[in-house]
Structure 1
Amino acid sequence: MTKASSIRLDATASLLRLRMFAVVAEEGSLTRAAVHLDSDVAALSRQISALEQQCGTRLFNRTGRGVSLSEAGLRIYPQVQALLAEASLLEETIREQADVVRGSVTLVMMPSIAATLVGRVFTVLRDTHPDVHIKVMEGASGKVVEWLADGRADIGLLYRYKLPLPRGEEALASVDAHLVGPPGDRATANETVDFRALASVPLVLPSYPNGLRRELDTLARTAGIVLAPVLESESLALLKSLAMNHGLNVVLSVHAIEEELAAGKLQASRIVGPSVRSTISIAFGKAKSPGRAVELVSRSIRRLLTEVVHEPPLGNRPHEQSARS
């Protein structure tokens, strides 16, 4: 039996390998651990093998379903966790002593929010904190929650249609949904459109499971109508293209299409009677406590999103043009 106290390691050379060991132990799979670590399976396997050679013992049992900790692995795992926690605390303390905020922050959000926000966040941080690196991932709300839970993302932004919000989420802003169509579209010619009109237009909606789709169908049942989309898609780029080039109608926040509104490529009417309102919420990855870079980016998001939502949306609708003339 190999005792944990008998294992001798060069801590400087092994800290990264120990983190890899901990992630593999938590994931129970080299493949999932490689995704978590943004590595490839072969390179991760080599590092684990090198760590086992350093330890002089096998740390994992390989099975057809993945890997599990060996007896020696089980003995050192709590100590490795404590060492990594101390190393993380030391790193954070050192960073707090420095004037420059550094670090990599992974944002995950739905495409309609990304279209509005990412460029603004990047511009602000490029000028004020160039050592903060931003990585952006897009996905539906289910993916956003999943990537936050497994530690692949530091900050997530979601649309929520029901209150109260899930535990750990913070409301940032509320936005109204709009019916969007091509220039000259009669359904979106006015500033507002009655919700019941959605039953009589060529509508493209996201497919289940999707928060907006559930909310629209719930409101439709209450209103006594049936929404029968001619197409289903969650791709923001495709939704815009279908509205611009094929005469179809989609339901979006106007801030997701501000460039197209300004260029006169789309027009939009706010849905009323009832309105379709969502809350944009922020949540944080659960794998670790937010560092200074994450806190900095989250502050920027809070400020910029509030500004965006309260800005009058850019537009080029017929009813706006007539009001100006």
Structure 2
Amino acid sequence: MELRQLEYFVAVAEEAGFTRAAARVHVAQPGVSAQIRRLERELGQELFDRSGRTVRLTEVGAAVLPYARAALDAVAGVRLAVDELTGLVRGRVAVGVVASSAALDLPDLLAGFHQRHPDVEITLCEANSDRLVESLLAGRLDIAFIGLGSTTPQGVETQVVADELLVAAVSHDHDLAARRAIPVTGLRDLPLISLPPGTGLRSRLDEACTAAGFQPRIAFEASDPQVLAQLAARGLGVAVLPNSLATARAAHLHAIRITHPELHGRLALSWRTTGPISPAARALIRHTRAMLGTAGRGE
């Protein structure tokens, strides 16, 4: 039994497919399949049910999975202990970010880290906040920039790096274009344009509407805030946007302050609070917090 076989096994189980697992471990799909077959022959049992469209764990596979994860965690712990003692900063760090992160100069931040630690490979992915938190907790990401709702997700530490007022943005010929402010209850039954569920902005909107006793009527969803602004500018509804984005498009949009309560969109640096953290990940957290002016709390 080899460590790489356990690594491939865990990847296939978590990704529910050989192709996605192969992309995750950076190995050709036939290579992953061959190693899993070797592991199954050694154990004398099939670990996956391959009969359906998706790959599923067999009963034996489900029983083996926690032990495989524990073995890989133990090896990671050994490497981490050695690297901590020798002061090495190498390896790989994985960063996640939401699409609505215009307030963050991420390329400059990552370039600065690369200059300080050229032996560390950096990867970057974009997803909604809920998926990023899930990846943090699973150890697939080392840090992530997420949009926060009213509560902090369990299992992660966060540091707010941007806090901005959210507004209702409409075209200049919209019926609401003469308004300067609108209460949350005034959004009832209006066709709203918003980021999708799982984003911090959408969480704030949904929470406020639920507290006011109604469900928002979402006419359009898009993961790019720029698209939301364009839809509102064409008169297709009321977009809930960060104030800076609405005012930057003042020629096409009128921004209306949302009140009772005010809504704020918060962008936060986040990292998990449990499990081993590599020296490279620790260095990235320190660098990021220093660049963002948030140093001061323990990693």
Corresponding residue for residue 112 of structure 1: 100
The alignment status of 1:252 with 2:241, answered yes or no, reads yes
The alignment status of 1:136 with 2:124, answered yes or no, reads yes
Corresponding residue for residue 87 of structure 1: 75
- Name the TM-score, length of structure 1 as normaliser: 0.64
8 Å CA contact retained: 2:164, 2:266? no
8 Å CA contact retained: 1:155, 1:282? yes
Change (3 A) 1:87 1:110: same
Q: Which amino acid aligns with 1:300?
A: H
- Name the TM-score, length of structure 2 as normaliser: 0.68
- Please give the per-residue CA displacement for 1:8-27, whole angstroms capped at 9, x wherever unaligned: x7xxxx44334334555777
Corresponding residue for residue 316 of structure 1: none
Corresponding residue for residue 152 of structure 1: 140
Match among 215, 228, 232 for residue 221 of structure 2: 232
| CA positional deviation for 1:44 | 0.5
8 Å CA contact retained: 1:22, 1:77? no
Q: Which amino acid aligns with 2:149?
A: Y
The alignment status of 1:205 with 2:205, answered yes or no, reads no
Q: Secondary structure at the match of 2:262?
A: coil
Q: Secondary structure at the match of 1:107?
A: strand
Corresponding residue for residue 5 of structure 2: 17
Change (3 A) 1:184 1:101: farther
Q: Which amino acid aligns with 2:263?
A: V
Could you tell me how far apart the structure 1 residues matched to 2:77 and 2:211 are? 53
Corresponding residue for residue 44 of structure 2: 58
Superposition RMSD in Å: 4.6
Change (3 A) 1:22 1:176: closer
Corresponding residue for residue 317 of structure 1: none
Identity %: 24
Change (3 A) 1:47 1:305: same
Could you tell me how far apart the structure 2 residues matched to 1:94 and 1:304 are? 28
8 Å CA contact retained: 1:176, 1:277? yes
- Please give the per-residue CA displacement for 1:124-164, whole angstroms capped at 9, x wherever unaligned: 2132222222222222222223323443322233222223x
Where does 1:309-320 land on structure 2 (aligned, <5 Å)?
none
The alignment status of 1:96 with 2:84, answered yes or no, reads yes
Could you tell me how far apart the structure 2 residues matched to 1:115 and 1:143 are? 20
Higher helix share: 1
Match among 106, 112, 127 for residue 115 of structure 2: 127
Q: Structure 1: state its 5+ residue gaps.
A: 1-8, 308-325
Q: Which amino acid aligns with 2:284?
A: V
8 Å CA contact retained: 2:158, 2:270? no
| CA positional deviation for 1:104 | 1.6
8 Å CA contact retained: 2:155, 2:273? no
Corresponding residue for residue 194 of structure 1: 181
Could you tell me how far apart the structure 1 residues matched to 2:19 and 2:187 are? 46
Could you tell me how far apart the structure 1 residues matched to 2:127 and 2:248 are? 24
Corresponding residue for residue 248 of structure 2: 261
Corresponding residue for residue 311 of structure 1: none
Match among 171, 176, 180 for residue 164 of structure 2: 176
Corresponding residue for residue 312 of structure 1: none
Q: When the two structures are aligned, how many residues end up with a matched partner?
A: 286
Q: Which amino acid aligns with 2:222?
A: S
Match among 282, 286, 299 for residue 295 of structure 1: 282
Q: Structure 2: state its 5+ residue gaps.
A: 295-299
| CA positional deviation for 1:194 | 2.0
| CA positional deviation for 1:84 | 3.9
Could you tell me how far apart the structure 2 residues matched to 1:231 and 1:144 are? 23
Greater CA radius of gyration, 1 or 2?
1
Change (3 A) 1:76 1:278: closer
Could you tell me how far apart the structure 2 residues matched to 1:232 and 1:86 are? 43
8 Å CA contact retained: 1:144, 1:156? yes
Q: Which amino acid aligns with 1:119?
A: P
Q: Secondary structure at the match of 1:113?
A: coil
